[in-house]
């Protein structure tokens, strides 16, 4: 096969794989691992079930891959908070807007399912076990302390308000904001009041 043809074939393969992953992400977020079948993923992706098996052996393989991607994305976002423009308050606000985005919510929901469901693939379970929510808070503390020094955040031990703040955000992400007529990303300033003076 000529080099250009091979590159196009690889690009098509990658695009198809992403198409299947997007469909699976949507279904896993809505129906959970147990409620999703490979045939449903194929239908959502607009391909035949047989073709889906050329890219993934099973729904468990896709689920595990999505959980790993979700955790990696989350850890990258947390690591990048300090590089965002603006004050510590601006940085945490931008981070919250990113977290509460509807696309991120689907990843959050499958991580929650991996944490709480039975029959989770071992590869997904292993990825979850490497992830520590406490690490999230520990990585946010330096930004919070800098905000305290600048007078933006309440004084005192930063761990407790950050834990409370992230717990509220987690709770909101589990809610169906659309059904409630809400857009959590529009309520970030209200959420930030948990941390500010």
For 54, phi then psi, to 5°, come to -75, -20
Q: How far apart are CA 115 and CA 10, in angstroms?
A: 34
Residues 52 and 96 in one domain: no
184 versus 138: the higher-pLDDT residue is 138
Query: Residue 10 sits in which domain range?
Result: 1-56
What pLDDT is attached to residue 176? 78
Number of domains making up the chain = 2
Q: Is the pTM of this model over 0.85?
A: no
Alpha helices in the chain (DSSP H): 3-31, 38-45, 49-55, 59-80, 88-100, 102-116, 122-130, 133-149, 159-174, 188-192
DSSP 186: G
Residues 124 and 33 in one domain: no
Confidence of residue 164 (pLDDT cuts 50, 70, 90): very high
pLDDT tens-digit readout, 25-83 = 999 999 999 999 999 999 999 999 999 999 999 999 999 999 999 999 888 888 899 89
């Amino acid at each position: 096969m000529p080099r250009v043809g091979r590159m196009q074939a690889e690009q098509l393969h990658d695009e198809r794989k992403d198409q299947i992953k997007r469909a699976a992400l949507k279904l896993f977020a809505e129906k959970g691992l147990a409620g999703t079948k490979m045939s449903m993923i194929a239908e959502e992706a607009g391909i035949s079930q047989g073709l889906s098996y050329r890219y993934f052996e099973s729904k468990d393989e896709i689920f595990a891959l999505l959980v790993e991607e979700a955790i990696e994305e989350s850890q990258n976002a947390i690591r990048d908070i300090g590089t965002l423009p603006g004050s510590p308050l601006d940085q945490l606000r931008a981070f919250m807007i990113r977290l509460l985005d509807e696309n991120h919510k689907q990843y959050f929901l499958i991580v929650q399912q991996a944490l709480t469901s039975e029959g989770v693939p071992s590869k997904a379970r292993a990825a979850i076990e490497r992830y520590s929510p406490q690490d999230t808070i520990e990585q946010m503390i330096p930004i919070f302390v800098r905000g305290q020094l600048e007078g933006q955040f309440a004084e005192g031990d930063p761990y407790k308000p950050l834990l409370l703040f992230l717990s509220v955000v987690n709770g909101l992400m589990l809610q169906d904001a659309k059904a409630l007529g809400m857009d959590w990303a529009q309520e970030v300033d209200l959420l930030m009041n948990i941390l500010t003076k």
